[in-house]
Structure 1
Amino acid sequence: MPSTKYPSFLFLLLVTAPLFASAARCDKADKSALLAIKAAFNNPPDLSSWTSKTSCCTWNGIDCNATTGHVTSLTIFALNISAPIPSAISKLTALQSLNLAYNQLYGPIPPFVGRLPELTFLRLDGNLLTGTIPSTLTILDLSLVGNRLTGPLPPSFAKANFADVDLRDNQLTGDASFLFGRDKNLNALHLSNNSFKFDLTNVEIPKGLDILVIDHNEIYGSIPAEVAAMKWLQFDVSYNRLCGPIPQGRYTRRFGAKHFDHNKCLCGPPLAPCK
């Protein structure tokens, strides 16, 4: 008597088919938002896979939640796009990662970017963005390198739970000392090539900080003593207005004079002895 059971491979196909369909399904509202973003970016050729006839979860630069079909990651990287940041991005409410780096985006950073409820990773580096940083931009991993941003950091940054902050190569000014704090979760802080001006003497170094690159600013005071006990991967305080002895530790001794040069009166290895 022939078996009434399906062959095992056919049974698996039937069972898993809904999962594959779910993974490919795209939320309709998110798809409309993405097509609006493409239009706002003047329909670049590299986004030719973005068509109304296909699932947005299969498009270049897009990742989706396999269960809901909502877009969780949007990457439009180095496509030479010249446009403002499109307002349609605000409709991608499940977005966790947004990478628009190395285009020619211009204008201010819209505050709605920081209001995306799930966003934890933001790259806007290598663009032509101007104006001040919105107070809403308290994103866990934040990179705004190489734009034309001006003014002081927003006060909201003092209470933000940053892990990595990279603000190099802008025209930012004022106090950035509130980014520090012993109990903060900060791992990496890059402030190079701005005009930040604050006293470094009494800042509390976050316990997990292993990258501190703050060269080419107007930072004054002395290097905190606890720096000597930290396990640094990168460390650079050159081209500031710092003074006093360099804290001596196993990891600070790894860095040569160029990481401390061109300050007001820093002294001790790897610079000249203190008088």
Structure 2
Amino acid sequence: MDKTTTLLFTHLFFFTLLLTTSLSKDLCNKDDKITLLKIKKSLNNPYHLASWDPQTDCCSWYCLECGDATVNHHVTSLTIFSGQISGQIPTEVGDLAYLQTLIFRKLSNLTGQIPPTIAKLKNLRFLWLSWTNLTGPVPEFLSQLMELDYLNLSFNDLSGSIPNSLSLLPKLEYIDLSRNKLTGPIPESFGSFKGKVPDLFLSHNQLSGLIPKSLGNLDFNRLDFSRNKLNGDASLLFGANKTTFSIDLSRNMFQFDLTEVKIPKTLGNVDLNHNGITGNIPVQWTEVPLQGFNVSYNKLCGNIPNGGSLQKFDSYSYFHNKCLCGAPLDSCK
């Protein structure tokens, strides 16, 4: 082997060694790593977190994402989903100071209340805690998460009233509190969100009372109040000049006259079944290309207007009304 070849192999050896050393470097922030190991222990060291080995870089662990060097490789996302996890949400979660996404989902053995330490996560944007057995209230301390734009606490056993303070979050664009055991009215404060009007899902609870009149001034994109005990006049949620796409008010106790209610051209889905709604279906509703429609089990009367999308829905969308007639129901006499 000549001198040039020897030199080449020497440089190649040291380059490979340097590259191997660089790739094996533990990028994970050391404080976050300590916190994560505490979280694993708090959850009884489940097999789901078997990759959380203290001898390896935590940025490579399952369920995690880290930021880049600009945030010193702190953990920015923790997603624990569909594993054999039991216990409560560890309080140490609040010590992951740079966390932007926190998800505990489809964990039927996850119990207890939402820990107050989550209020420490000042960078949190995405909070999804659903399909668990979490109990207790929707916490007031969530209103301290000023960066939050997505909140999903659906499919739990949360109880009590909805906090007024959620409307204070300036970046919130999505709220889903459906399928819990929430009681009381829809907060009056929900008529004055600080930022963009969020998609709002409150279905399958035990909410009662009137819809606050202030909600009539808002232009929701998607709204679902179905399967509660709400009553009164819900017509204020409609309007020809709004940009609403979907509205579900089914299975409540609403009572109002539908005759003069105008709907926006953007409306794709409307479900009003199982209420006490009276009057006629307005002709203006034929001008909207509806994709989903149900007014069954009300007290509507008169001829179903011809044209538009109204005849493409079958009789199940209309039946069990007081005296509604015309296609797809029997012809009017």
TM-score (normalizing by structure 2): 0.65
Q: Greater shift after overlay, 104-113 or 246-255?
A: 246-255
Larger Rg: 2
- The reply to whether residue 90 of structure 1 matches residue 101 of structure 2 is no
Q: Offset of 1:179 from its aligned partner?
A: 6.6
Q: Offset of 1:123 from its aligned partner?
A: 1.0
Counterpart-to-counterpart distance in 1, 2:116 and 2:236: 41
Matches within 5 A, 1:204-243: 204-205=238-239, 207-223=242-258, 225-227=261-263, 229-232=265-268, 234-243=269-278
What residue number does 1:117 align with?
A: 146
Q: How many residues align?
A: 259
**Structure 2 letter corresponding to 1:46:** H
Q: Offset of 1:208 from its aligned partner?
A: 2.2
Structure 1, gaps ≥5 residues long: none
Q: 1:229 to 1:63 in 2, by over 3 A?
A: same
* CA-to-aligned-CA distance 1:95-128 (integer Å, 9 cap, x gap): 1001111011011121112321111101111111
What residue number does 2:286 align with?
A: 249
Q: 1:41 to 1:208 in 2, by over 3 A?
A: farther
Q: 1:199 to 1:53 in 2, by over 3 A?
A: farther
- The reply to whether residue 141 of structure 1 matches residue 170 of structure 2 is no
Secondary structure at the residue paired with 1:112?
helix
Secondary structure at the residue paired with 1:227?
coil
Q: Greater shift after overlay, 93-102 or 222-231?
A: 222-231
Q: Offset of 1:255 from its aligned partner?
A: 4.5
Q: Offset of 1:46 from its aligned partner?
A: 3.2
Identity of aligned residues (%): 29
Q: Is the 8 A contact 1:98 1:119 kept in 2?
A: yes
* Residue of structure 1 aligned with 2:198, choices 156, 160, 163: 163
Q: Is the 8 A contact 1:94 1:116 kept in 2?
A: yes
* Residue of structure 2 aligned with 1:46, choices 29, 41, 48: 48
Q: 1:61 to 1:273 in 2, by over 3 A?
A: same
Q: 1:92 to 1:212 in 2, by over 3 A?
A: same
**Structure 2 letter corresponding to 1:170:** N
Q: Is the 8 A contact 1:63 1:72 kept in 2?
A: no
Q: Greater shift after overlay, 124-133 or 160-169?
A: 160-169
Q: Is the 8 A contact 2:114 2:134 kept in 1?
A: yes
- The reply to whether residue 107 of structure 1 matches residue 136 of structure 2 is yes
Q: Offset of 1:72 from its aligned partner?
A: 0.7
* CA-to-aligned-CA distance 1:11-59 (integer Å, 9 cap, x gap): xx99xx8xxx99x544847974x66766666665534555766666555
Q: Offset of 1:262 from its aligned partner?
A: 1.0
Higher relative contact order structure (alpha carbons within 8 Å, sequence separation ≥ 6): 1
Secondary structure at the residue paired with 1:172?
strand
Q: Offset of 1:177 from its aligned partner?
A: 4.4
Q: Greater shift after overlay, 146-155 or 35-44?
A: 35-44
Q: 1:171 to 1:117 in 2, by over 3 A?
A: same
Secondary structure at the residue paired with 2:253?
coil
TM-score (normalizing by structure 1): 0.77
Q: Is the 8 A contact 1:61 1:73 kept in 2?
A: no
Secondary structure at the residue paired with 1:77?
strand
Q: Is the 8 A contact 1:30 1:71 kept in 2?
A: no
Secondary structure at the residue paired with 2:262?
helix
Secondary structure at the residue paired with 1:74?
strand
**Structure 1 letter corresponding to 2:230:** F
- The reply to whether residue 192 of structure 1 matches residue 194 of structure 2 is no
What residue number does 2:100 align with?
A: 72
Q: Offset of 1:250 from its aligned partner?
A: 3.8
**Structure 2 letter corresponding to 1:133:** I
Counterpart-to-counterpart distance in 2, 1:63 and 1:103: 23
Q: What is the RMSD computed on CA atoms of the aligned residues?
A: 3.6
Counterpart-to-counterpart distance in 2, 1:192 and 1:114: 25
- The reply to whether residue 265 of structure 1 matches residue 300 of structure 2 is yes
Q: Is the 8 A contact 2:128 2:151 kept in 1?
A: yes
Counterpart-to-counterpart distance in 1, 2:56 and 2:117: 19
